[in-house]
Amino acid sequence: MADGSGVGSFGGRTAIVTGGGSGIGQAIATLFGARGAHVAILDLAAADATVAAIAEAGGEAVHVPCDVSRQDDVTSAFESVNERFGALDMLVNSAGVAHVGTVEQTSEADLDRVYAVNVKGVYNCLKLGVSVMKGRGGVILNVASVAATVGIADRFAYSMSKGAVLTMTLSVARDYIHQKIRCNCISPARVHTPFVDGFLARNYPGREAEMFEQLAKTQPIGRMGKPSEIAELALFLCSDAASFITGSDYPIDGGFLTLKM
């Protein structure tokens, strides 16, 4: 890996962040870029704002349009990043989609859509990531969820997918520990992202502020998390300061798992 130490600087390391066009992925990509990483944002959606924010902070970034559910797309994207920035040092799998509903309310099409991005998409990027990191080392961070380890109402498909992300993390960490690859995941609770705003607008028109407050109060700490707070944990886990950490899941949940009454 390229030079860099502690949590302060990534010293020109190459990072791929999937889903970096918005939300948690955008916050992670922006922070990594501000700390000196060359950041490639893999996202089907526009990522101009993320690229601009990184450039304003003095970093370098590129948007590589990519459907993570398609292995050919991922292969081409990784090759493009290697040509642009050199060998991959850090991979953050943040791309994901959500679904609200019980098992009875989840259609086959719903399940396939969530699986394609949240499970197969992570698999595709892990497969390419470890293949280029083997021997020289690297860091992989997957974005899971508290839904991977606790039952949350009306989140059947989403919970299934995030449980898979958690167990894929453990598997990769075990299989590639002797290849100098660290693999961890983080499990946020409710974070204020564009998805939350869109969900409220669709389902509670005219009551967005009221329902936002109700959702915020479901977190024992009394508010939702901020994408920037998730990014700070990602920064630590991908840094040399976390060089003794692999195969771990880090809840970042405002007390949701342990303090829920």
Tell me the one-letter amino acid at 186: I
Catalytic (active site) residue 204: no
| Distance (Å, whole) CA 116 – CA 71 | 11
Contacts (Cβ under 8 Å, ≥6 apart) of 143: 24, 25, 92, 93, 94, 96, 165, 185, 186, 188, 230
DSSP 102: -
DSSP 139: E
Sign of CA pseudo-dihedral 95, 225, 189, 251: positive
> CA dihedral in degrees (129, 155, 44, 41; nearest 10)?
-50
Place of tokens 């946020």: 188
Nearest to 45 by CA among 106, 114, 117, 109: 117
Contacts (Cβ under 8 Å, ≥6 apart) of 20: 26, 28, 29, 39, 41, 42, 43, 47, 50, 94
- How long, in residues, is the chain? 261
| Distance (Å, whole) CA 93 – CA 105 | 27
Place of tokens 């899941």: 249
Facing residues of 138 across strands? 181
Q: Of 115, 123, 158, 250, which one is the catalytic site residue?
A: 158
Kindly list the catalytic residues.
Answer: 158
